Amino acid sequence: MDWSRGDHVVSDEPRRLDHARIWRFLSQDSYWAGGIPEATVEKALEHSLCFGLYRRGAQVGFARVVTDRATFAYLCDVFVDAEARGEGLGEWLVSCVLEHPELQGLRRICLMTRDAHGLYERFGFRPMPDPARYLEIHRPGVYGDAGAAR
């Protein structure tokens, strides 16, 4: 499925994804996945619903959804390249993701963010009303030293 806006396209076509570009951003530029091994990113891409954001054919953004396509989805790894920011592309990318037919009728869609609350709140995301219900196993050093501080 594709969405178009001017020189930009959002697509869920897995063959269009620039795997090396995605891995470079996640491993080197993201605060949440620093040092992530390339093989781990490959496995995540293979088992997720992924969206590329393209400008004139070159990938400038990405979003990934982990979902059972029936009840639950976790939106993650959302990014827009620094040189493409400030054009509303992040908001458009998230809008396209949430419009995807495979994500309709789900009971819960969640995400985690350190700094983009305003963006996601525009789509109805809210802090958990009872954070004590949320439990996790968090292994910050799983990707080695590079990811330990993130």
The answer to whether position 142 is within a domain reads no
**What six digits make up the tokens of 104?**
């309709």
In a domain, 134, yes or no: no
Q: Give a yes or no: residue 148 inside a domain.
A: no
Tell which residue, 110, 113, 103, 50, has the closest CA to residue 75. 110
Q: Is the pLDDT assigned to residue 126 strictly greater than 60?
A: yes
Question: What pTM did the predictor assign?
Answer: 0.92
Residue 120: give its domain's CATH number: 3.40.630.30
| Residue 27: inside a domain | yes
56: exposed, middle or buried (Cβ count in 10 Å: 0-12, 13-18, 19+): exposed
* Number of separate domains in the chain: 1
Is-contact 3 96, C-beta < 8 A? yes
Comparing CA positions, the residue from 69, 64, 68 lying closest to residue 93 is 64
Q: Taking 60 as the threshold, does the pLDDT of residue 150 lie above it?
A: no
CB proximity list for 123: less than 8 A, separation 6 or greater: 94, 95, 98
For residue range 26-84, list pLDDT tens digits in order: 999 999 999 999 999 999 999 999 999 999 999 999 999 999 999 999 999 999 999 99
Q: Is residue 61 one of the residues assigned to a domain?
A: yes
Which residue segment(s) compose the domain that 27 sits in?
2-126
Q: Do 128 and 135 meet the contact criterion of CB atoms below 8 Å apart?
A: no
